[in-house]
Chain A
Amino acid sequence: MSLLFAALYYFATLVLLGGLAYRIRGYARTPAPLLIPTTPAPTTQTGVVLRMAREVMLFESLFKSNLWIWGLGVMFHAGLALVTLRHLRYFTEPVWGWVALVQPFGTYAGFLMLAGLAGLWGRRLLVERIRYISTPSDHLMLILLIAIAASGLMMRFVTHTDVVGVKSFFLGLLAFNFQPLPDDGVLYVHLGLVAALLIVFPFSKLLHAPGVFFSPSRNQVDNPREARHIAPWAAEMEK
C-alpha cells in the first residue's frame, strides 16, 4: 500500500506540474491581438497589478455580481488556502515558523472550507439557473472537494491518524527515501482523493486559477492611444 501511494503521488505531481506547465505555456504563447481590457481599466502597469491582486485576493468582480456566490466562494478559497498552508508542516522539517503560526487557524479553516463548499453545492442544486448551467463534472468536483475536507477533518477531530508517520512518508518521498505510510483507511481515502484532485487539475475548470492571470480583459493596460499593441501574426499583415 505504501508503495502504491508513493507511486501515485509521484505520478500525480508529474501530471500536475507537467500539465500546468503545458497549459500556462499555451496561454503565454497565444497572442492577444487587440486591447480588450474591460474598462474602466488601469492606465498603468502598476494599476493592472493592483487590479489583478484585488481580483485574486478579494474576488472584486464576483463581489460586484452576487454577494452569495462571493461569500461562499471566499469561505471556500480562504479555508482552502489556510488548510493548504497548514499542511506544509507535513513536508518541512523543521517546520517553518510562520507555518506553525498558521496551524491553529488552519485546523478550523477546514470547517470554513466545508461550509463554503456545502453552500456552493446547495446553490448549484437549488437555484434554477445555476442548476441549468451545471454539468455532472461541476457536481463531481464539489463532491470531491467535500470528501477531501470531510476526510481530513475526520482524521483531525475524530479518528486521529499517525501524523508523525504521515510526515515521515512524505519527507521520504521528497528525499527519494521511502518510508511506510501508516495503515489507516480514512488516510487512504483522503490521500487518494487529493491525488485525484492534483491529476484532474490541468484538465478541468480548475484551470481558472492560472487562467485568471492571462485574462486579457483583466491583465491589459488601458493605453491604446499612447502605445501600439500588435500581435506577431497581425504585424505580418503590415509587410
Chain B
Amino acid sequence: MAGPEITAPPYRVIPIVPALQPEAMAHSKPFVANEKINEAIGFPGKLAENWQETHDAIIAKMGELLKKYRSLKVYLDACVHCGACSDKCHYFIGTQDPKNMPVARQDLLRSVYRRYFTLPGKVAPALVGARDLTPEVLDEWYSYFNQCSECRRCSVFCPYGIDTAEITMAARELLDSVGYGQKYSNEIIGKVHRIGNNLGLPGPALEDTLQGLEEDVKEDTGVDVRFPVDVEGAEVLLITPSADFFAEPHIDSLIGYAKVFHAAGISWTLSTKASEAGNFGMFIGNYDQLRKIALRVREAALELGVKRIVVGECGHAWRVAYSFWNTLTGIGAGANDPFAVQLQKQLDHRYKQPTHICELTWDLIGQGALQFDKSKNDKYVITFHDSCNVARGSRMGDFMGGQFEIPRNIIRTVASHYVEMDEATIREKTFCCGGGGGLLTDDLLELRVKGALPRMEALKSVVDSDKVNFMATICAICKAQFTKVLPYYGFNRSMVGGVHQLVSNAIILGEK
C-alpha cells in the first residue's frame, strides 16, 4: 500500500464523544470493481459515459427498491434527527468524521430520496435537506457507504429501529446497478460461483489441505481425526468460512469442529461445491446474489444426502444461515417448491436446521458426550468478543440471547479463566471488529485500523486489569481483522482465536 503510514488513533482518556472532524475520511475509497468482475455477476461493467443515463437509472432503481423493501421505505421517512445513533458507530468514534454518524450516513441517501420522492423535497429542497443526485453525490456514496460494516449497532439505539445496514445495502445495490461496485466484494462473489468459495481454493487443493490437517492432528494427538470432503450419506454437512481451511487462527477452530465430531461419533463432511459459508450477497444488498449463493448449500445438501446442516464460526454467514436461509432456500420449515420439499424430507427435524457449531457443541456438552481437560487452557485469561452479525442479526438455542450465552458457556466449560469486557461493548451493544460488511480489504486498512478503536479500548482495559491474553470470537472476519489490526494497538496478533480453538485445546479424544 502506497501512501502515508497508518497509525492507530490514541485511546481516549475518557471515552466521551469525540469532536467532529468534517471530511476526515472523505479520501477513503475501496478499489472500484473492473468490467470483468462486474459483468461476471450480472452488473453493468462500468459507469455510463453519459451522466444523465446513470442519474436516471439510479432514480428508477431507487423507486424499485422502495417498492420491494419496507425497511428502506419506512427508514427513509421515519428519522427525526434525534441523534440517538450519532455517537454509536465505531467508524465515527475512530475517525471523527461526522458523515460516519449513522444518521448522517443515512442522510447521504435520504437527501436524494427526499428530492425525488417526497413533496417537500420537490418544492423546498433546502428546507428539508434534499439535494439533486450529482456525480459528486455518487462519489460521496461510494466513499461513505463503503465505511459502514452493516453491524447494526445503531439500530439497537434508534427509537424506530432504523437500521443503517439496510440503507447501506440499498446504496450499494444502487451503485452496483450502474456499474460502480466495489472490487473486493464483487470479485469474491465471482469466485464463489466459479470455484465454490470466497478464497478461490479449488476442490483438489482443498482435499490436499484437509489431508495435511489429518496428518498434523495425528502427529499432535495420536488420534485419527478425519476431515472428510464430499462424502455421500454423511450425517452432517458442515458449511464453514473458507478461511477456516488455511488462515491462522481460523484453522485451529476447524480442527476443533473435527475433534468434536470425532469425539461425539458424528459422521460429517465438507462439500467442494459449497466450501464457503460466507455470503457476500448480503453485503452488497443484492437479493439475487444472496439467494444464488445460498442455493449452493441446498444443492450440496441434496447431492450428499445429509441429515443435518451445521454452520462453522462465521458472523454474517450465521446471520444469513439462521435468518435468511429458510426464506432464500427453504432450509428450515415451510417451503413448498419441489427441491425444498425434497430437502425437508431428507433432513432430520429433531435438530434445528441449520445448526450453529456452537449449538451442536453445547448440546453435546449437555448430553455429557464430550470430556475436557480444562488445564490445557490454563495459560489463557480469556475474554469474548461478540461478533456483530451473530449478536444483532441471529440467535442460538431456544431463548432470546442464546447467541450470547452459548459461546460463553462453552468457553467456561473448556477453560478456567474468563473475564467480560465493559458491559457497554458486549452482547447486543458489541462493537464491530472494524472489518465486517465487505470492508476486509487492504485498500481500506486505514478505516479498519481506526474502526477497531472502541473494541481495542475495551480490550486494553481488561488486559490491564485482568491480564487477559486471549480474545475468543466466532467470526472469520473478526479473526482476520484482529490479526491484522491488533499490532497497530500494540497487542500480539496471536491473542485472537476461535471458541473452537479453545475446545480443540481441551477436548479429550479417544475412548472414554
Query: Which A residues have a C-beta under 8 Å from some C-beta of B?
Result: 23, 26-27, 30-36, 38-43, 47, 55, 59, 61-62, 64-66, 69, 73, 123, 127-130, 132-138, 140, 203-205, 207-208, 211-212, 214-218, 222, 224-231, 233-234, 237-239
* Candidate in B73, B82, B107, B322 with the most chain A CB atoms within 10 angstroms: B82
**Minimum distance in angstroms from B300 CB to a CB of chain A:** 19
- Kindly report which residue of chain B lies nearest to residue A55, judged by CB atoms: B159
- Cross-chain contact B332 with A226 (CB below 8 angstroms): yes
Q: Which residues of A contact B156 (CB under 8 A)?
A: 38, 61, 64
Residues in A with CB closer than 8 Å to B75 are 215
Contact residues of B between 66 and 81, Cβ < 8 Å to A? 66-71, 73-75, 77-81
**Considering the complex of A and B, which 10 residue pairs feature the smallest CB-CB distances, nearest first?**
A228-B334, A211-B78, A135-B129, A65-B157, A217-B161, A218-B161, A65-B84, A40-B400, A215-B161, A30-B70
Distance to closest chain A CB from B58 (angstroms): 19
Please tell me if the beta carbons of B155 and A217 are within 8 angstroms of each other in the complex: yes
Across the interface, which residues of B come within 8 angstroms of A205, CB to CB? Answer: 77-81
Other 17 A-B pairs with CB < 8 A, given A64-B157, A137-B127, A215-B78: A30-B68, A31-B70, A33-B287, A55-B159, A66-B83, A129-B86, A130-B83, A208-B79, A211-B77, A212-B78, A216-B70, A216-B71, A217-B155, A224-B325, A227-B326, A228-B330, A234-B287
Shortest beta-carbon distance, B23 to chain A, in Å? 12
Binding-face segment, B42-50, B98-106, B231-239, B373-381: B98-106
Closest Cβ of chain B: how far from A115's Cβ, in Å?
17
Partner of A128, one of B19, B68, B79: B19
Asked whether A26 lies within 8 Å of B73 as measured between CB atoms, the reply is yes
Cα A208 to Cα B159 in complex, Å, equals 9
Nearest chain B CB to A237 CB, angstrom units: 7
- Size of B's binding interface in residues, CB under 8 A: 77
Do the beta carbons of B127 and A140 come within 8 Å of each other?
A: yes
Contact between A212 and B159, CB atoms less than 8 A apart: yes
Contacts of A215 in B (CB 8 A): 71, 74-75, 78, 160-162
- Which partner residue on chain A sits nearest B390 by CB separation? A39
**B73: A residues at CB distance < 8 A:** 26-27, 30
Closest approach, in angstroms, between the C-beta of A236 and any C-beta of chain B? 11
> Is the CB–CB distance between B120 and A137 below 8 Å?
yes
B140 at interface by CB-CB < 8 Å: no
- B-side interface residues toward A, CB under 8 Å? 17, 19-20, 66-71, 73-75, 77-88, 98, 101, 103-104, 107, 118-120, 126-129, 152, 155-163, 166, 287, 291, 322-327, 330, 332-335, 337, 340, 352-354, 391-395, 399-401, 403-404, 428-429
CB-defined contacts of B395 to chain A, threshold 8 Å = 39-41, 43, 222
- Distance in angstroms from B73 CB to nearest chain A CB is 5
Residues of A within 8 A of B20 (CB): 128-129, 132
CB-defined A-B contacts under 8 Å, sample of 28: A23-B77, A30-B69, A31-B70, A36-B393, A38-B161, A39-B428, A40-B404, A41-B400, A47-B400, A62-B82, A65-B157, A73-B159, A130-B86, A132-B101, A132-B104, A133-B81, A133-B83, A136-B126, A137-B128, A204-B120, A205-B79, A214-B74, A215-B162, A217-B71, A228-B333, A229-B326, A234-B327, A237-B291
Of the candidates B81, B87, B332, B353, which one forms a contact with A135 in the assembled complex, judged by CB atoms under 8 Å apart? B81
